[in-house]
Amino acid sequence: MTVLVACSENNVKLNELVSFSKVKTETEKTYTDELEVEIFRNAIEHAIKLDGIVDVVDPMYKFKLDGKEYFLWLHDAGGSIMETNDTHTIYKLLEEDAKQLKEVVN
């Protein structure tokens, strides 16, 4: 009998970015509040994959959750995420998820 156990991190580490490859110094924030972590997790789970060629400006943030890293863009009209190991695919955040992320990050 094989038993699989899923392990989730209980925190999110977020950094502001200058560019895709450069972190803005002294900006790392760690979110440990269960509700805040769940907001990040829900945003990822609800995000909608967009078709086409990805051509975007430098991301505002990079965050790590559950062993994966993501780029994050937040703007007035919503937001987007992209896994750092798959820069050919971008996901649109649902409006409510983007709003909640803005509240947590700001």
pLDDT digits (tens, 9 = 90+) for 28-48: 999 999 999 999 999 999 999
pLDDT at 3 over 70: no
Q: Which two tokens stand for residue 81?
A: 């995420």
Helix crossing, 95-105 with 34-46: angle to 10°? Answer: 150
pLDDT tens for 16-29 read 999 988 999 999 99
What does the pLDDT read at residue 82? Answer: 95
Whether 58 and 13 have beta carbons less than 8 Å apart is answered as no
Domain boundaries, the chain: 12-105
pLDDT at 5 over 50: no
Q: Chain-wide mean pLDDT for the chain?
A: 90
Percent of the chain with pLDDT over 70: 92
What does the pLDDT read at residue 77? Answer: 83
